[in-house]
Amino acid sequence: MGMMSVTSLNTKIKSLLEATFEHILVEGEVSSATYHTSGHLYFTIKDSQSSIKAVMFKSSVSKMKFQLKVGQHIVVEGSLGVYLPRGEYQFYAVNIEPYGQGALALAYEQLKEKLSQKGYFDAQNKKPIPREIKSLILVTAKESAALHDMLKICDKRWPLLEITIVDTLVQGEAAPIMIAQALKYADRLNGDVVVLARGGGSSEDLSAFNAEIVADAIFGMQTPIVSAIGHEIDVMISDFVADLRAPTPSAAMEMILPDKQEVLLGLAEEMARMKQVLNHTLSQAIHRFNQAKQIHQHQAPKKRLEYIYNDIMQTRQSFTRATRQHIKFCSNLPENETKKFQNAMLATIRHKVEIFKSLSKQYSMTNLATREGWAQISKDGKIVSLEAIKEGESFVLRDTSAVINAVCTSKENKHTRSL
């Protein structure tokens, strides 16, 4: 074999290695990883005995679903190449997968841990879903089966609802950006609730809802948001960040919207209960009114005047009968006995007169008390006139509805008033 230059040797090695080790899979543990500002990824994989340097160029790095970290057990797809200027060989990776685990699953766990540490899942950051929803915004694909199912349930459960549909891609490389933009637009519509929805699909189909840009958009929303992605077994990052997670799009409608039949039944029951309460209250009010009416009839000023007037008339009749009896009796007695009976009669007359005066005064005061502006005046428990009240003295004003304790601050007699 003839003598070769270094370049010739490296070139032959390059041709041999690249032809022999093309499109191979290498399994190992990441011992170092550097994301360069150029977008390229430089890393080293090793096993228990040796290691090999590797590089992944920007175009392939942009397609990775997860972040490469030291200590990860991975499977690298690519080919072996030689860097001629230094005569070094390295592995050129075109795809990286977690060992024994899909890239999407690892990316999911990595993002979940990151967002959890940022507080995206904390209960205190969750907004309550309003009980009464008048305006609903649906962020989904406008031609999707999920939208059709949601609209059908809305019409069945609560047809008075105002619904706005914000169309967006729900899968594919452009979907995360489109979903984030759609959510920001929906948040500006001032609806009561936003529902982010998509029907079932593979992990790859649903991966847009595990994107960090979508999580950021959900977390930044002012409007309460419900995440309703896939089937019940599918749990997305969007489910953790949203204010409420629904197992399916249809279930979301059933969870947040009232059932009109249940509402109507509840209203009927409430009306029946209110009717029963009103009837009972009205019955009690009528009973109390009748009682008050009877009490008022017995205590009314007019009734009291009738009682006093009857007492006066009875006293008058009694006085007349007693006088006649005394006169008749005295006419047949001796002079000295007549004198005794006359004195007794006078005493009886004076007593009856006092009773009559008292009843007459009570009648007059009661009659006056029924007139607007009149009241009974008393001092030290005795009924007096205004003339008997002196300046500085306390007295009581009383009518049929109130009692007032008063003090005379000044006084002017009518007969001394200057004209």
CA distance 363 to 369: 10
CB–CB of 104/210 below 8 Å? yes
Instruction: Report the C-alpha dihedral over residues 320, 325, 327, 333, rounded to 10 degrees.
Output: -170
pTM above 0.85, yes or no: no
Tens digit of pLDDT at every position of the chain (419 positions): 568 888 888 888 888 888 888 888 888 899 999 999 999 999 999 988 999 999 999 999 988 888 898 988 888 999 998 888 888 889 999 999 888 777 778 888 889 999 999 999 999 999 999 988 999 999 999 999 999 999 999 999 998 899 999 999 999 989 999 999 999 999 999 999 999 999 999 888 999 999 999 999 999 999 999 999 999 888 999 999 999 999 999 999 999 999 888 878 878 888 888 888 888 888 888 888 888 777 766 656 666 667 766 776 776 677 677 666 666 665 655 566 566 666 776 777 677 667 666 666 666 666 555 556 677 888 888 888 888 888 888 988 887 678 888 888 888 876 554 43
> How far is it, in rounded angstroms, from Cα 148 to Cα 253?
12
Q: DSSP string spanning 306-374?
A: HHHHHHHHHHHHHHHHHHHHHHHHHTTS-HHHHHHHHHHHHHHHHHHHHHHHHHHHHHHHHHHHTSTT-
- The reported pLDDT for the residue numbered 418 is 41
Query: Residue 361: what pLDDT?
Result: 65
CA distance 112 to 240: 9
What is the spatial distance between Cα 133 and Cα 193, in angstroms, rounded to a whole number? 7
Q: Is the dihedral of CA 387, 390, 392, 394 positive or negative?
A: negative
Pair type for strands 403-407 and 394-398: antiparallel
What's the pLDDT at 317? Answer: 77
pLDDT score, position 362: 65
